[in-house]
Structure 1
């Protein structure tokens, strides 16, 4: 939306000594870097903002009509003014190169639209009302407008946009004191590269939040507004992305700017900081359900009976599993084990019995498909098995019956060696030995 209310911008070169155009008694609100974010960016109102220079003759000519329009629009549309000669950084944020420049801050406060045309108070009022009408229609149609980042609450969450808006006020509590890993983009609303990055950053934020269960978060700081935190980390260009981990110095993000690149780097960071998955013994149906329901794959090992291996042998197998679980922790698979003979229906469904123990299978519970480890139950054998699965190769079969088999409730392993069942003692005191020998007494 571009409203041709003013003619082409005129360059101003007339030097006139003017102390101030507007006073507290006017209905024009004086804006500066200290109050611009609170008054304009965080406001739900439509704003018309004039960027002027005190020495500019065209700006001086506009002043009485700008004041008159502000009075007429009071309570309807906010009218403000920025001394862009004194506050060059604020003018620079919005690409102001000549005076007067007027911007409409409407649905998307971070992307104001040019407002150009005639200079009478009537033209300004008409243009403001047209812009307001357009804004109301957009809201009525359900268009939210605004930057995806600016709509995100500082609490971080909600809606389709999972980029957390970070500020000078919440940066310490949200990022520095968090146990989670943060990728933080420092941006400027007027930066073209930042605008190009925004949809990629937003899409990656949602994917990363889901895949890491919120353990890696993506945030964004408007460095033109929250200058304290930007200065603290030496931000000089936009966009700048930094990685924050609790107790460590932030590091520069090294990677591409597509959503795929961002997600890949985020998952690497998650893998580096995440503990290995828990290795769960199958002692009841809940153990299987909780471990497998949110996992793409469940890795299930059937280990030899404790009497065949003892505690040391079993722990050796579990150590191999833990090592592989840590190696593949980025996959967020579930890891389970059971003792041979404890879950016979499960073994039958997987066809494990014919291969001996230890045995291993990978189950996709959503598709009810499984694959069996054909190699050795070792670092090398299991790694090769899982690597093939992770790249979509390997032989699979349908789980017996197409449903998960019944899981029995059993006692958890106590960590000790197994014991043979005690033999019963028989009382032979009443038994006649002659009877046993087959002799009879005449």
Structure 2
């Protein structure tokens, strides 16, 4: 596997690689940990999903046929792609160990089928239609596609499940600012063995999607009896939720990886701070914020001389409230003063709408949507809600190229000052006689 670079170079290389595979004009849906559950797992659609790596030659050769199949199946079967080199935990959940791997997500989304057919568009379409017929047949027969436990092996990494003991429990869990889901198990327990691959897969996904702010641990209650007795563990497996400064809560959800991940993301949303609202001071700020987010929300605020500090803070307060309301989406939030990033404004076509203005940008697809309503809590909420459900018109950002981002000084939080006019002393200026005569007349 190719080594990964870091920082801005990593973001740039990934952006180029993804665009080289599937552009916004293709019918292939780009999937990642942020949208996989919503788009695939919670969907009633049949999905064909390719797990690929940008450096994989076989994946590159498959791309034109995958695009062609997606177009042929549009409106019938959903076709997606996951960069499993970038999103390793997502590939790990489904046992992806080579590239490209194609899986069919049918009635039971927790147990996708491995596609073993040919790599031509014709073979892919035929396999999709065959799977669709089977899905319809099952539904006619009353099979809804059970969402029970998936027994697949290789669904995650056990190293992402933290081994907790009598000695480290208080330090790791109780004194931590992170949220913990802790499984108390017994090695001989059959239900615990069934849960193990689901718990490991969920641990890997949750670690990536919450950036380690929600963690999954496990306690062997037959060995570490002190901590198990403290929390009254009587049956196995027992799962408890621990939040700093609060009494532990019993986990009441399902035992599939999907159920565990969903609950973990809810906990993350409840406890996570709102994303920071940053001023666009240079290109690095924009790239770092937007390349790691599905969407980046950018407000272009009036010049400080037009609003003063109080007016600007009012607009910023509105953005902060919306960032908190949509924090579960893990979007990036940025702002700039009108005129400070003219190339960006031109790429977005913002000038015609006046200020304040707002755009939502998908930097990976180089697509954007503009706020057409009011720059208010209600107006922005409606704009973002429409985007969340896939509605609203979009356009290509600046012809598909990131506009130049200028380096500017950070706003100091104060009112603007008009430039001082210079006083001119004309006492020493000698005027000719003709000019003096004209003045006298």
Is the TM-score greater than 0.5? yes
Seen in structure 2, the aligned counterparts of structure 1 residues 441 and 250 have a Cα distance that, compared at 3 Å, is closer
Q: Residue in 2 aligned with 1:439?
A: 438
Q: CA deviation at 1:223?
A: 1.2
Task: Indicate whether 1:219 and 2:217 are aligned.
Answer: yes
Residues 421-442 of structure 1: CA deviation (Å, up to 9, x unaligned): 1112122111539765762899
Q: Residue in 2 aligned with 1:251?
A: 249
Q: Residue in 2 aligned with 1:327?
A: 325
User: SS where residue 439 of structure 1 aligns?
Assistant: helix
Q: CA deviation at 1:161?
A: 4.1
Seen in structure 2, the aligned counterparts of structure 1 residues 173 and 438 have a Cα distance that, compared at 3 Å, is farther
- Distance in 1 between the 2:277 and 2:327 partners? 12
Residues 251-309 of structure 1: CA deviation (Å, up to 9, x unaligned): 11132222122111111111121111111001111211221221111110000011111
> Which consecutive unaligned segments of at least 5 residues does structure 1 have?
1-147, 149-157
Q: Residue in 1 aligned with 2:349?
A: 351
User: SS where residue 257 of structure 1 aligns?
Assistant: coil
Seen in structure 2, the aligned counterparts of structure 1 residues 424 and 237 have a Cα distance that, compared at 3 Å, is same
Q: Residue in 1 aligned with 2:258?
A: 260
The higher relative CO (CA closer than 8 Å, separation ≥ 6) is in 2
Residues 117-145 of structure 1: CA deviation (Å, up to 9, x unaligned): xxxxxxxxxxxxxxxxxxxxxxxxxxxxx
Residues 206-264 of structure 1: CA deviation (Å, up to 9, x unaligned): 11100111010001111122111111100111111101111221111132222122111
Equivalent position to 1:171, from 159, 169, 179: 169
| TM-score, structure 2 normalization | 0.62
- Distance in 2 between the 1:226 and 1:394 partners? 54
Q: CA deviation at 1:401?
A: 2.5
- Distance in 1 between the 2:372 and 2:439 partners? 63
Q: Residue in 1 aligned with 2:414?
A: 416
Q: CA deviation at 1:391?
A: 2.1
Q: CA deviation at 1:176?
A: 1.3
Seen in structure 2, the aligned counterparts of structure 1 residues 345 and 438 have a Cα distance that, compared at 3 Å, is farther
- Distance in 2 between the 1:372 and 1:226 partners? 56
Equivalent position to 1:238, from 233, 236, 239: 236
User: SS where residue 267 of structure 1 aligns?
Assistant: helix
Q: Residue in 2 aligned with 1:43?
A: none
CA contact (8 A) 2:301 2:338 kept: yes
Q: Residue in 1 aligned with 2:398?
A: 400
Q: CA deviation at 1:389?
A: 1.5
CA contact (8 A) 2:366 2:400 kept: yes
- Distance in 2 between the 1:256 and 1:441 partners? 98
Equivalent position to 1:303, from 297, 301, 312: 301
Q: Residue in 2 aligned with 1:362?
A: 360
Q: Residue in 1 aligned with 2:87?
A: none
Moved more, 431-440 or 293-302: 431-440
Determine which structure has more spread, i.e. the larger CA radius of gyration: 1
User: SS where residue 347 of structure 2 aligns?
Assistant: helix
Q: Residue in 1 aligned with 2:181?
A: 183
Q: Residue in 1 aligned with 2:111?
A: none
Q: Residue in 2 aligned with 1:200?
A: 198
CA contact (8 A) 2:340 2:408 kept: yes
- Distance in 2 between the 1:437 and 1:382 partners? 64
What is the aligned length? Answer: 289
Equivalent position to 2:281, from 280, 283, 294: 283
Seen in structure 2, the aligned counterparts of structure 1 residues 422 and 225 have a Cα distance that, compared at 3 Å, is same
Equivalent position to 1:292, from 290, 293, 298: 290
- Distance in 2 between the 1:271 and 1:438 partners? 81
| CA RMSD of superposed structures (Å) | 2.5
Q: CA deviation at 1:174?
A: 1.2
Q: CA deviation at 1:159?
A: 5.1
